[in-house]
Structure 1
Amino acid sequence: MFSILKSTALLVVTLGYALAETHTVHFTNLCKFGTPTLIQGPNVLSTGGDYTRQGPLLGAIAYLQTGGCGFNGEGCTLVELSLNNGFSSADISLIPPHAFSVTSGFGYYNGCDGAGADCKEPGCPQAFENPNETGKQVGCPAANVNIAVTFCD
């Protein structure tokens, strides 16, 4: 009986910690055109407003929809991100079919403040141009970290 109660208490504490995880993606669009877009798989999560997830946000992409971008940001500058307690990661991708479209950047806040990357021109050194450039990912080990994505800064 004690073992069942102990296991149940551990499960409740573990679930409580997982449910307490939260992450926000914030957009700033200084371009005066286009729509900031956040996608995860087939789902549009945001078209410009802050998006807050209770729990991890894995494998999401952000870009400025200028009318020339495909659904998954094809033809445009892409910010790839995964926010997860323990280790978050983000990067800028110009790997084809993605291509430079507008100045794009990101920075973590509420943890790892100051860590991020900017891409202000085609061929920017901070962006992936082929899948083997894993050193261009910017990581953050902070719990409940948030990320700000900016266009035309």
Structure 2
Amino acid sequence: MQFQFVASLLAMSALISSTLGESHTIHFTNKCGKGTPTLVQNGVILSTGGDYTHDGPIISAIAYHTYASQQPGGCGLNGESCTLIETTLKNPTTAGSGSSTDISLIPPHTFSVTSGFGYYNGCDGFGADCTDANCPDAFHDPSQTWVQVACQTDNVDLAITFCD
């Protein structure tokens, strides 16, 4: 009985340590000359162009570029009227349960500026770019799940570029 208790404590300790050690950064490159990269999670703005680092997973965050001269009034808080990049960055706990990022042009989102992303510090070279409204690497309807770009590396980071 005592052995099981100690083993349970060690397992919990390992789980807590792995969670505390998780960290992800989202980096923006803005080549548009105006407008603002914006990172939002659950209706809260996390960044307006600066690097955003979070200790732990980043779940269901969205990024877009408010390019005021192209979009009257800019983007809505949830990226309405703009090209949207959706991301979840998390360390995998089982096969296939790690990070996933995609570009969305599902209405009310629409092409606004050239947008792209790529993972770094793991899964380097994995990403997608969207250069026009016909972007084949973007969701145009919810059934196009093959456009999601997955990464199964711990502590992976994400670089997002606008107007490249």
TM band (smaller chain): over 0.9
**Distance in 2 of aligned mates of 1:88 and 1:75:** 26
Give 4+ residue runs of structure 1 displaced > 4 Å after superposition. Answer: none
Counterpart of 1:107 (choices 90, 108, 118) is 118
Partner of residue 42, structure 1: 43
- Deviating more after overlay: 101-110 vs 3-12: 3-12
**Is 1:95 the counterpart of 2:96 in the alignment?**
no
SS in 2 for 1:118: strand
Partner of residue 27, structure 2: 26
Task: State percent identity of aligned pairs.
Answer: 58
**Distance in 2 of aligned mates of 1:130 and 1:100:** 14
Partner of residue 71, structure 1: 77
Partner of residue 128, structure 2: 117
**Is 1:138 the counterpart of 2:145 in the alignment?**
no
Shift of 1:43: 1.1
**Distance in 2 of aligned mates of 1:65 and 1:118:** 18
Q: Give the structure-1-normalised TM-score.
A: 0.96
Unaligned runs of 5+ in 1: none
**Distance in 2 of aligned mates of 1:113 and 1:96:** 30
Q: Give the structure-2-normalised TM-score.
A: 0.90
**Distance in 2 of aligned mates of 1:97 and 1:42:** 16
**Distance in 2 of aligned mates of 1:137 and 1:48:** 23
**Distance in 2 of aligned mates of 1:25 and 1:15:** 23
RMSD: 1.0
